[in-house]
Structure formats: structure tokens, C-alpha cells
Amino acid sequence: MSATIALLGQPNSGKSTVFNALTGLKQHVGNWPGKTVEKKEGSFVRDGKEYAVADLPGSYSLTANSDEEVITCEYIASGKADVVCILADSSQLERSLYMMADYAGIKVPSFLVLNMADVAADQGKKIDTKVLEEKLGIPVISLSATDNKKYDAFFEAMNRAISNKSMINIAGLEAELQKVDAYAKIRALLPEEGVKSYSPTWLGVKAIENDKLVMEQLKSVLSVAEEKQVEEIRCTSKGALDTGNSKFAWIDELLDGALSEQKEKIGVSKLDKIYLSPFWGKPAVVLTILLGLIGSFIPALPLMGVGSAIDMLKAPVGSALASAGVSDVLIALICNVVIQSFSYIFKMLGFVFGVLLVFGLLEEVGVMARISYVFDNTMAKLGLQGKSVMPFLISFGCTMGGAAGTRVIDNYGQKVLTIALAWAVPCGAAWAVIPMLSSLFFGPGAVAVVVAILLTMIVHMWITAKIFGRKLVKKEDRYGMIMELPPYHKPKWGALFRYVLGRTKDTFFRVSKVVLLVCVLFWALSYSFTPGVDPILCKIGKVIEPVTKIFGLNWQLFMAFVASSVGKEGALGVISALFTDGSVYGAFNDAMSGAATAENLNDILLANVSKPQALAFIFAITFNMPCVVALASTYQEIASAKWTAKIALYYTLGALVLAMIAYHIGLLIW
Amino acid sequence: MDDLLRLLKDGHARTIPMLAKELHTSTADVSRKIEYLVNMGLIRKVDFGPKKCGSCGGGCSSENGQKTCKSCMPEGGFQNMGQMWEVVG
Ligand SMILES: Nc1nc2c(ncn2[C@@H]2O[C@H](COP(=O)(O)OP(=O)(O)OP(=O)(O)O)[C@@H](O)[C@H]2O)c(=O)[nH]1
């Protein structure tokens, strides 16, 4: 074996590509002793001489933070390699030369390979390797590792490095480092000959970075007092920040005159000029969300149509069953509970589908990222971060998804607070019920109701943040974010539809169970099996009505409110069960006896509920807890029964208070 | 880099071009410093990926040991939220 070459580079610098090109089939893959890190060794013959190649594990730096880095350092220090080939990415030299800068000061011959030359050329970057070679004092070449025919320069540089024992000239780096006070002091304490293959410069840098392996090795050359001194000096420095600054400054110095590129123009797209403008950003984002919500009605229409079609089945199915001699109770159950429920479920699914599609689309094209960017500062005022916007927006579709979305938040307090606030965002089920009820009672005024709800939502979140935030989020927890916004791009429709349809299907099964259960239960409690006797629910309702009236809810509406805690979509079903006819008992009997078609829920509601009551009810169910499933997933996510209960209680009471306020405002208007 | 870290701690969101402008440097410089700070453990990248699913009620599947949550998030998680980093507290 005439020489051993070690390949050193950051992940994706092209080490494996070079390794394969050099060794072809002559390679052996195993593990580094005692580690799970892959070890690749091989050999090749060139001009009659055999060379061994070792592919060192890819790592960001040579600081002993990970197994990869420890292995790399130990291998180089062991002296097994005759020459180290340092790889950097030509297309991003500013960052990828970091490995070279971190290696500088190790006394093992090396040469520098600027890989991805083809990519850099495509970007219009010109690199003068001669200039770099002069400054660095080691062979430097450009390479396209994927092009197997172009390795001549590689071998030439390799041989030059081996025969000249070329080491990196670190005068420039040393000069930068000397500007750091702590470094200069530590460097003065270190022996001039260094330790093993490490120069005092390299050891000094790693001492500042508090590298465990290096501190261990220094013990052999420093007295206990000196060691303590090093420790003390290090504590006065900014550690890795200081050395990092020096290394980057040195890299810039090296590249000055060696790299020419077209001046980068920080291009901002037209859309971003609006979204990212300090003045127009917020209005633009709010408008986008509003348009999104409105727009989600369009994809919702087909499913809503299906819902209405199912509703129309009631009469024919009812009379068919009647003529087949099926019992009245069963007919009532099938028509007023089962068919009715599925009608609601489909109408609601329409909206869930619409919201998911529209917000999914906004995410896909990159608008969602802008939304969270614009809201980051607002979130900070609530004690949260921009990334909390995501759970909030998902909550427009389903609170459960919102709760799951808080997984990106590590801080426990912020996570709990985010979920607590996400509950205030009306979910898909609420959006299915609100517009339906609002347009029924208020006609075109429904738009005003929706706007009022959105405004209330904002105030609600604000107050909730103040109440819960005090305990959950400390001021120190509030840090800034860097966001690299993705470029706008065309959506991947396939993936988007798979997600939206999958989610809609899930919601369908989950919701069907809840709705059917709630509807059957309430129907059974409100059905008068013996004519002339008030059903149980009616009795209870009438007893508590004086209290519920305070909140602007008569007992039927109050029952529907209670049911909405289980699932908002169930609320309408309950109303229809309770209001089927002004007088409760006998309602279902009427319903099936041909009068069924007249049993239009709309007419019944208009006849029995006043506008202020309707307003109170809409606010009550909108801001009630989202549903039992959301409750369960909240518990799962925050793993605290105490906080879950607190949040649930807070929302139930809050909803009633809001209902009361809405009712009294309603009384003033009408 | 101290400037960069200081800006990050002030509670405002910024994009990389904005940071570059504020620090009178290039985006390439800001990007490499962010990468450096991540590797030194001073800031952390926010993971919007599909991993670590423990909370959606049903709809979760375990595939090759990694829990994915197809119905809570699109395939592969939210991939178009850009990249976000936060200061390690
Ligand atoms: N265009 C171009 N692509 C390259 C070149 N060299 C490598 N690549 C590609 O870059 C990618 C990464 O290369 P690898 O050789 O796997 O990088 P690595 O350093 O071994 O990465 P790790 O295995 O993660 O340490 C692969 O897809 C290569 O095909 C090059 O010169 N030009």
C-alpha cells in the first residue's frame, strides 16, 4: 500500500460519490468499532501503485458532539491517513468551506476538492482555484464527482499533497482568532508543538468551543492550575460564537478574489410585496382567510346537495314504511332520527371538505407560511409564536387536527395555551351550523353574524390568552423566529385530494357515531311513548327553563346547547327532535302521518324561536367546547386532566356568558 | 453571529433576506450562520414533519416503526410551511 486517503466532508458533499468512483467494486462496508456508524473502506490502483481509501462519516464539524465527529477526529489523529481529501460544495462555498476551516490546524497533509463544479457553473459562479491554492498552501481543484472521466486533476492534486506533505496555511485564521481575547490567552498557555497531530491553534479553538475530547487531551500537557485557568478564560468568552465568527471571517477572506458570482438580487414576488409589507400584510392576510372561508362553500356544495337530497327521502320512506305496516315508533326513529341525522352529517361534511381543501391548498401553494409569518408578532403578544397559527387555521376544519398540530410546539405552557385558544376557533361543524341558522333567521344579515362571530373569536382568544397565559407562559419563553418562506408553487393536487378525502372520510365515521348517538338519545328522551304524557326531557327542560332563560335560551335550545358539547353537528338534530311540533308530544306521530312534509325544520324554528334567542343560541354553540373527541385529543396531547377540565369548564361557562350578551344585544336590536 | 442571535431573541419573526438586510450582509452569510447555530445547539429547527404522532383519535398508522398520521396531516407532514428556526430556551 503506497498511501491511505481519508475523505472528509459534510453530509451531501459528495463523499460517497467520490469514494465509489475511486474504488469501484473494491470496497468493504462495515461498522466503526463499538459504534453503529457505517465504515466504508476500499482501495484502487493508479500508475501501478495501490492506494487505500477511507470514507469518514459525514458530519457538520470536527467538534466532538456526535459519534460521527468523534470517529472522524480519532481517525485523523491516529495518523492512519497519509492525506485527507477535504470536500466542499462549490455551489455554496461560503458555508461548505466550514469543514476545511474546522480542519485547519490539524497537521495531516490535505488537499481541497471543490465538488459540484457543474452546479456552481450553472449558477454562474466562477471559482479561481489557483488563488485559493496560493492562499491556503494546499492543492485545490474543482470537480464534478458524478463525472467519472474527470478524475485526472484529482489524482494529480492527491499526489502533490502526499509528496509535498502540504498543510493548510493558517496564518490568516490565526490572525482572525487573535482578535478574540479569550483565544489569545488560552493559546499562550498551550505548548507550541501541540498534541499529537493537533496544532496549538486547533486545540485553542476547540478549548474555546469546550470540546470534551480536546479538554481530556489537554490534561496530559497542562498542569492542574493551567487547566483551571483555561476553564476560567473560556467562561469569559462566547464560546462557539467567537470561534465561528473567526472561521467565517477567514473563509470570506479566502473567497475574496477567488469567487466571482452574479450579484444576488433579493427578488421579492409581487404577492410577497403585499403579504410581507408592514402596513398591508395584516389586512391582506385577514382578507385571504375570509375569502378562503367563503370560498370553501363552493367545494362544499356537492356534499351539501347530497345532504338535502337525503332529507327529501324522509317523506317517501315514511309513507312506504307506513304502508308496509311498520310500527309508528320505528318509522319515527328511521325518518326523524336516522335519515335526518345523515342529512346533517353530509351537509356538515361538505363544509369540512371545503375548509380542508381551501386551507390545504393555501398550505400547498405557500400562502399559509406567509400567514403564520404575518401573525407571528400578534402571536407573540398572546405569548405564543408564529407556528401556533398553524393549529389555529387547522382548527377551522377540525379542532382535533388543531390539537394534533401543536406537536410542533415544544414549550409545554405554549402548547397548552395554543390548544386552549384553538378551541375558540369555530370548527367545520360549527361552520356548517352557523351559516345555516343565520341565514334562516337573519337572511342577508347572516353575513353580519359571521363577521360578528369572527370578531368575537378574536376577542375571545385575546381574553383567554390573558387568563390562561399568565400561568402558562413566562416572558423569557418568548423568542423570535426565523422563517425561510417557501417559494410559491403549483399545488400537488393528488396528494392534496388524498389528504382532504382521507380526513373527510375519517370525520364522517367519527361524526356519524356521535350524531346518531346524540340524536337517538335525545329523541328517546323526548318521544312520548304514551300519548298525553310529557316526555322526560320535556319535564326536566321545563323545570330548568327559568335559569336557561337568563342566557336567552329556552329549554329546547338549552338541551341542544348541551348536546353541542358532544358534537356541534348534533345540535341541529336535537333541535329538530325537540321542536318537531310546537307541542312536543305527538310530534312524531304527526310527522309520520303524511304531515311529514310540512314538518319543515325551518318553519318550525321560525315559529318557535325569536331572533334574539337565535342569536344567543348561535353564539352559545359556536363558542361551546368543540366536541367530546376534541376534548379527548386535548387530554391526550397535554396529558393533564386538570388543564383539560379547566379549559372545558371555561368554555362551557364562557359560551353561556356570550349567549347572554348576544341575547341582550339582540333584544336591543329587535 | 452575536447580532444574529440577539435579533432572534427579540420576539419578532423575520425572513432570511430581512435578517441579511438588517445585518448588512448576504443571505448566504445568514444561512450559513443559521446552520452553524443549529449545529452548535443554540437554535433549533422546527419540525413540521409527520413523525411523533401520538394524539389524533384514530387514523394513525405505524409504518416501519415511524408513526405517521395520514388523516391529521398531508402525506409527509406540512411541507410548504417553509423552514422555521427558534432559539433554544
Ligand atoms: N450535480 C452534481 N451532483 C453531485 C456531484 N457529486 C455528488 N452529487 C450528488 O450529490 C448527492 C450527495 O452525494 P453523496 O456522495 O451521497 O454525498 P455524501 O457526502 O456521501 O453524503 P452522506 O452519505 O450523507 O455523507 C448525490 O445525489 C450525488 O449524486 C457533482 O459533482 N455534481
Average pLDDT over residues B30-49: 84
**Does A16 contact ligand 1 (Cβ within 6 A)?**
yes
Delimit the domains of chain B by residue range: 2-45
Least confident of A144-158, A241-255, A511-525: A511-525
The partner residue sitting opposite B19, judged by closest CB among A241, A403, A482, is: A482
Q: Which DSSP string do the residues of A467-479 spell out, in sequence order?
A: HHHHHH--GGG--
Question: In this complex, is the C-beta atom of A282 within 8 Å of any C-beta atom belonging to chain B?
Answer: no
CB contact under 8 A, A266 and B75: no
* CB-count burial class (<10 Å; 0-12, 13-18, 19+) for A447: middle
A633 contacts B55? CB cut-off 8 A: yes
Among A445, A443, A453, A449, smallest CA distance to A602 is for A443
Residue B51: pLDDT band (50, 70, 90) is very low
Min mean pLDDT across A5-14, A53-62, A300-309, A514-523 is at A514-523
Of B32, B40, B81, the CB nearest to A369: B81
In angstroms, rounded to a whole number, what is the distance separating the alpha carbons of residues A187 and A208? 10
Q: Where are the alpha helices (H) located in A51-90, listed in sequence order?
A: 67-77
Residues composing chain A: 670
Higher pLDDT, A142 or B17: A142
Pick the CATH number of B2-45 from 1.20.120, 1.25.40, 1.10.510, 1.10.10: 1.10.10
Rounded to the nearest integer, the mean pLDDT of chain A is 85
Neighbours of A115 (CB within 10 A): 26
B33 has pLDDT over 70: yes
Per-residue pLDDT, averaged over A483-509, amounts to: 83
Q: How far is B61 from chain A (nearest CA, A)?
A: 13
Assign B11 a pLDDT band (cuts: 50, 70, 90).
Answer: low
CATH class, range A3-169: alpha beta
Please give the full DSSP string across A120-176, using - where no structure is assigned.
Answer: HHHTT-EE-HHHHHHHHSS-EEE--TT-GGG-HHHHHHHHHHHHHT-----HHHHHH
Is A482's pLDDT higher than 80?
Answer: no
- The pLDDT assigned to A87 comes to 96
CA A369, CA A488: separation in Å to the nearest integer?
Answer: 10
Among the atoms of ligand 1, which is closest to the Cα of residue A143? 31
Which chain B residues touch A364 with a CB distance below 8 Å? Answer: 74, 80
In the stretch 96-115 of chain A, residues with CB closer than 8 A to chain B read: 98
Domain ranges in chain A?
3-169, 173-259, 271-478, 506-669
Confidence of residue A500 (pLDDT cuts 50, 70, 90): confident
Q: Quick one: cell of A248?
A: 467565517
Ligand 1 centroid distance, CA of A14 (Å)? 3
What 3-state class would DSSP assign to A9?
Answer: coil
**pLDDT tens-digit profile of A628-656?**
778 877 887 888 899 999 999 999 999 99
Using a pLDDT cut of 90, give the percent of chain A over it.
36
Nearest chain A residue (CA) to B86: A481
Tell me how far apart the alpha carbons of residues A516 and A634 are, in angstroms, rounded to a whole number: 23
Interface of A with B in 206-265 (CB under 8 A): 238, 240-241, 244-245, 248, 252, 264
Kindly indicate the confidence band of residue A373, based on its pLDDT and cuts at 50, 70 and 90. confident
Supply the pLDDT for residue A474: 75
Residues of chain A contacting B42 with CB distance shorter than 8 Å: 240-241
Task: Give the rounded percent of residues in chain B with a pLDDT score beyond 70.
Answer: 62
SS3 A59: coil
The CATH number of the structural domain formed by A173-259 is: 1.10.287
Quick: pLDDT tens for A271-295: 888 888 888 888 998 898 888 877 8
pLDDT digits (tens, 9 = 90+) for A95-105: 999 999 999 99
Q: Is A121 in the pocket of ligand 1 (CB under 6 A)?
A: no
Nearest CB neighbour to B56, from listed A252, A266, A404:
A404
Cell numbers 444576488: residue: A264
User: Which of A387, A380, A499 is closest to B81 using CA atoms?
Assistant: A387
The 10s digit of each residue's pLDDT in A376-419 is: 878 878 888 777 887 888 788 778 778 877 876 777 888 899 99
Q: ipTM surpassing 0.90, yes or no?
A: no
C-alpha to C-alpha distance for B34 and B25, rounded to whole angstroms: 13
- Per-residue pLDDT, averaged over A208-217, amounts to 89
Q: Report the predicted TM-score, pTM, of the whole model to 2 decimal places.
A: 0.73
Mean pLDDT of the region A58-79: 87
Percent of chain A residues topping a pLDDT of 70: 93
Minimal Cβ distance to B46: which of A408, A489, A496: A408
- Grid coordinates given for A170: 493558517
